[in-house]
Structure 1
Amino acid sequence: MSTKSENLLSHPDIQADPKLVDFADACAWSALHRIPTLVELRQEIDNALAELLPEHRFQLSLNQEELDRPLGPNEHCIPIHYDDREIGQLTIEGEPEQRQLCRIEGLLVHAATAYTQLHLRMSQDQALEAYCACVEAMHEGMGLFQELDPSATSERFLDLTTHAVHAQAGALLLREEFGNGSSALRNEALLGLPLGYIEKLVDENGCWWPEQLGGSGLIHLARNEKDELPGLANSPSLQPIDSLIACPLEYQLFPVGQLLLFNLSIDEREREAKFKSLMSLCSLGAAIFHRLAIDRDQH
């Protein structure tokens, strides 16, 4: 909230007139609608509540898990609504004065609107980013259709996908028999990896990990608090790997292979869009490799 609004609220003439207090509150709380992130918005709402409730402890809840918390013996709950839908609640310890409650209710109206609309804008921005990333990936991948050499196509595809998520290394594994999800995977192309390294990717039962994935969708592994890659055997040879993506290559539910990418470098905010872009590229790649296999069989 702006300094100007805070000074206006503290003016003694305004404090003496409830109508002017309402006007000053509205001026101060209108700033909530211009805050760009949910974290900053939550902090500003907490700060405003602390000013209104200097002698009371409170808890602001804005997600479903927090809403299920039972009330204490001396706690009072104010539900937070947006368009007749409860989106949160404010729990106050003790009994605030009526004037405090009126001002709090005014604040919560602004808070609910600002929170919901910001959340909606962020969701729309993420959807737009994901769509643009998919379009860009498809545009870049269309050049692969002009490549007639299977080896060159595999190398270009692997280079394109590693750049899509800023990965340090990658491996393209194709099925011996396209369309048969249980057929063996063969190493078609490597980028930034030594020969034989992919064979070291085994699960906790000693089975080759890529063969166990099937069509399970995109899988993202990152080292946990135990410095382990979940699902993989803890081997010294895997220490250089900080993160790993496995993305199936499928063409209209037609299994073609698996793409493995190592040590991604993408921002958390971009992750969803980047992953959708990668999945689009893998679908395109599956179609291309399927077409190359048909051409090979016809000749």
Structure 2
Amino acid sequence: MKTVFILFIFSLVCCGVSTKVDLDPDSRDFYETARLIMTKQEKKIFAHLPDEESRKEFIKDFWEKRNPDSETEENEFREEFYRRIEYANARFKEGMPGWKTDRGRIYIYFGTPDQVDMRPMLSLTDEMGRIREARGYLIWRYYRYGFAILFLDKRGDGSYVFDPYYGIGGDFFNALERARFGLPPKTQDLEKKFLDFDLEYNKEKKEILISIPVNTLTFVSEDDLLKADFDFKFFVYRKKSTEKQSFRESRHFEMPEEKVVKLENIEFAFSFPELGPGNYYVDVVVIGKPDIGRARKIF
């Protein structure tokens, strides 16, 4: 597990992928920081886009998938992301732009910590029995995400780095994936804001089947019926290709309560053209209404 932590920190520093074409200025500016919250599939897709027009479409889709409320003009997630970039550059620069530092990137992912502990000196013993000393250390505690992060000032110059041996307490990697997808912390108070779902593609019927566990849903009760509305957005990318198909549909669900309580899942089928030879990424956003929540997965 310690090796995983080390590799994660290395990926924070080298989180880019080589693109096969020269980027236009707008695409380059977008990718420089947005790659922090890109999935590995999104990085691969972006790397194969051949022209400015296709990249503009990708950027539009990228922010739309993370938009918490598509009915408003502003994209709150995008605005908050760039606000955190500016804050990190102002507060955490250590001989480099603040968003590139360990503290800056953690702040960009998770925002302001709920509690900060600071100490002047620290000595730790690693797995090999070696003494690891620091001139100072910080602990950022994120109660809403359920983990803490340890940063060490090894040189005493105010440059704090994440410590790969002792640096994580709690379910950090689950929280990181949620932050990249623009999903809220999975805490008790916000549990109802999180949906879960599975996807299957039936080649014979040419259908995409979405299955949503009933226990993740909040229904509206009306006339002895449980009701809910959903928006589905699908983005289908062929691997190592610029080919993309996308569509969206809204669906209404209602059923007598005595039947709903016997269900494990509710299912929705969507007709979709037959996919040609090759491998694909299917990027799905599900938004439940009213006030049920949203989820996103890449298959």
Q: TM-score, normalised by structure 1?
A: 0.22
- Structure (1 or 2) with the larger CA radius of gyration: 1
Structure ranking higher on relative contact order (CA contacts 8 Å, 6+ apart): 1
Structure with the larger helix share:
1
